Chains A and B, each alone.
Chain A
Amino acid sequence: MRNRTKMLILLGLAVVSILLYVFYELNGNYHYAFPRRLIKVVAMSLTGIAIAYSTVVFQTITHNRILTPSVMGLDALYMMVQTFIYFFFGSMSIFVINAKYNFLLAVLAMVVFALIFYRVLFKEGKRPIYFLLLVGMIVGTFLGSVTTFFQVLIDPNEFLSLQSKMFASFNNVNSDLVWLAGVVIIITFVYGWRHMNQLDVMSLGRDTAINLGVPYDKLVQRMLILSSVLIAVSTALVGPITFFGLIVANLSYQFFKTYKHSVIIAGSCVMSIVALVGGQWVVERIFNFDTTLSVIINFVGGVYFIYLLLKESRSAG
């Protein structure tokens, strides 16, 4: 099967799941249910695209297939930044009321953190990948504990306002941010498009890439910023989903069997739309909301992650 056919099949699946989600048992309810479902579909698709795109880019600049921005604790960081904004500025501040300022501040903090994190972990010599992973996961736990810690300290009234914002989930999509998120994602794509070919070269390794005339270190920094912005978008929309990026990025590499980033990124984006929208449809209609999609993703992702680790360890040992 050629990659073009594969992509068409995926696109078809994505369209089917979107149509199913929007129109299944709509019963002509165009005034109430239709716009709400539409917003949710858009939000989920944007989330999927943001996660897939950022994961593939992140994996290329860190040269491996197991690390993802979420596993390294970036979405836990987003939660912490939000909590800190409430803690230090209060719920009436401009950084809370105005979604744009709030988002900008959160993104800024994340970019700074990601750059420092990268410098500490990846720059100084080569560390074993398991070490990086463990550090990432513990950093995630640490940020998570700090976040809950400060949430307890916050005034209960402030906390109520924070809660509605922070505990976005698939059943409670943060719809105020959809348009802002859409614009941000389009900008990152326009920006990233020019670097697509350079990413292909980057995956050959630092020395080769520099030899071939790619400004490696500069590009790594830019891509890291891009990746953190995208994670901020996805976490703001539906909250953290740790293993999702890992699954779609790896599946996309297996499915398309290529190293061209344009194909992999496009493929993983479409795949995540299928998985999120289709998965949410299954959860809502077949399980009757008896579970949440993130639980399923965490379960499947966890098993897949162990499988990847064991596979990697066999080839290493």
Chain B
Amino acid sequence: MNLPGITMKKRYLFTATVVLSIVSLFIGVVDIKPSDLLDLESEETRLFFISRIPRLVAILLAGAGMSIAGLIMQSLSRNKFVSPTTAGTLDATKLGVLISMMFFTNVTYFQKISFAFIFALAGTLLFMQILNRIKFKDAIFIPLIGLMFGNILSSITTFFAYKADIIQNISAWLQGDFSLMMKGRYELLYISVPVLILAYIYANRFTVAGMGEDFAKNLGLSYKFVVNLGLVLVALISTTVVLTVGMIPFLGLIIPNIVSLFKGDNLAKTLPHTALLGMSFLLFCDIVGRVLIFPYEIPISMTVGVIGSAIFLIMLFRGRAYA
């Protein structure tokens, strides 16, 4: 699909991200003016560093992370409609956290993370296995199976959560929400920084792996290793985002697709765009959610859910040709 007249330049995206970041920093219940920050001792400055900056960093990392996770999954599965939302990864992570909460009465943060990570990885692997079994690889058919797979996982989660009386607990962190991001609660997201760097280093290999197993092996790529590495990266990103922010649906699905409309499928080239677009999209949604019922907030998962599913529908109707 060609979109004449519109180009997606890195510097436009970068400008958008910076502008939105600044807007995001100065929106909130307490009115902070840039001039307030000159006084390092003031209440405003403290608030700025405890709440606003962590929130911004969390949004940027989560936005870039989820989009890149989606991009890697789409490249490896060679299907434009696969993403952490449509492959059950997020639901598997949820199940992992639930199980860690049920079996250890006093879960340490580390136990929670490792359980969630193991489940996210296992869930994604299982889905990839199912994909290999399916002979009929219709582009639409795969996400359908993935969505159902996620539904089954989440009904298992609900089943056990109901038994253990932690339904409310579960739905509380199921909902993606940035309003609680402050110093001490978001640092886990920094894990995605090395992950993103790794993704960038391996970008070319992911692109080659996306051309199919035989082709990749012919080019001298250790296909298995690259695929597994990709899945580990995806699971790591999903775990950190679900544990700190919550579920952010559709982000990993729509952002890579929009970028590939403009830029094609060479990962090394599209990674920066994907990350930048993911960041600015998430920032935009966050700002909308914060402004709409000011001084209250609409959780990010809802804003993204509404805008994201609408964009996905448009993609489905218009994009039959390129999918």
B152 close to chain A: CB less than 8 A: yes
Known: A134-B140, A134-B316, A138-B309. A295 touches B162 (CB 8 A): yes
Residues of A108-147 whose CB lies within 8 A of B? 128, 130-131, 133-135, 137-139, 141-142, 144-146
How many A residues, CB 8 Å from partner? 35
> Chain A interface secondary structure, helix, strand, loop or mixed?
helix
- Residue among A135, A146, A291, A313 making CB contact with B159, cutoff 8 Å: A291
Interface string of B279-323 (1 = CB under 8 A from A): 000000000000011000011001101100110110011001000
Contact present for B298 and A149 (CB under 8 Å)? yes
Kindly state whether residue A186 has any CB partner on chain B within 8 Å. Answer: no
Whether A134 contacts B144 by the Cβ 8 Å rule is yes
> Could you say which of A135, A292, A295 has the most chain B C-beta atoms within 10 Å of its C-beta?
A295
Which of A149, A298, A302, A305 sits near B303, CB closer than 8 Å? Answer: A149
Q: Is chain B's interface secondary structure helix, strand, loop, or mixed overall? A: helix
A310 at the interface (CB under 8 A from B): yes
Asked if A309 meets B144 with Cβ closer than 8 Å, knowing A149-B298, A314-B135, the reply is: yes
**Beta-carbon contact of B163 and A291 below 8 Å:** yes
Given known A130-B144, A309-B144, contact A141–B305 (CB-CB < 8 A): yes
**B163 CB contact (under 8 Å) in A137, A146, A290:** A290
Pair A138/B293 contact, Cβ less than 8 Å = no
Q: Mark A148-170, 1 if CB is under 8 A from B, else 0.
A: 11001100000000000000000
Q: Is B230 an interface residue (CB 8 A)?
A: no
Please determine whether A299 and B302 come into contact, CB atoms closer than 8 angstroms.
Answer: no
Known: A145-B305, A299-B159. A135 touches B316 (CB 8 A): yes
Within 8 A of B (CB), among A259-284: none
Q: Which of B81, B140, B298, B309 contacts A152 (CB 8 A)?
A: B298
Of the listed residues B147, B148, B249, B317, the one surrounded by the most CB atoms of chain A closer than 10 A to its CB is B148
What are the residues of chain A within 8 A of B151 when measuring CB–CB? 298, 302
Q: A153-B292, A295-B155, A313-B134 are in contact. Are A290 and B306 (CB under 8 A)?
A: no
State whether the Cβ of A316 lies closer than 8 Å to any Cβ in chain B: yes
- Asked if A105 CB lies within 8 Å of chain B CBs, one says no
Residue in chain A with minimal CB distance to B149:
A306
CB distance from A77 to the nearest CB of B (A): 14
In this complex, the member of A134, A296, A305 whose beta carbon has the largest number of chain B beta carbons within 10 angstroms is A134
Least distance between A261 CB and chain B CB atoms (Å): 28
Q: Indicate if the CB atoms of A314 and B148 lie closer than 8 Å.
A: no
Other A-B pairs, 6, CB within 8 Å; known A149-B306, A313-B134: A135-B317, A141-B249, A152-B293, A290-B163, A291-B162, A314-B136
A interface with B by C-beta (< 8 Å): 128, 130-131, 133-135, 137-139, 141-142, 144-146, 148-149, 152-153, 290-292, 295-296, 298-299, 302-303, 305-306, 309-310, 313-314, 316-317
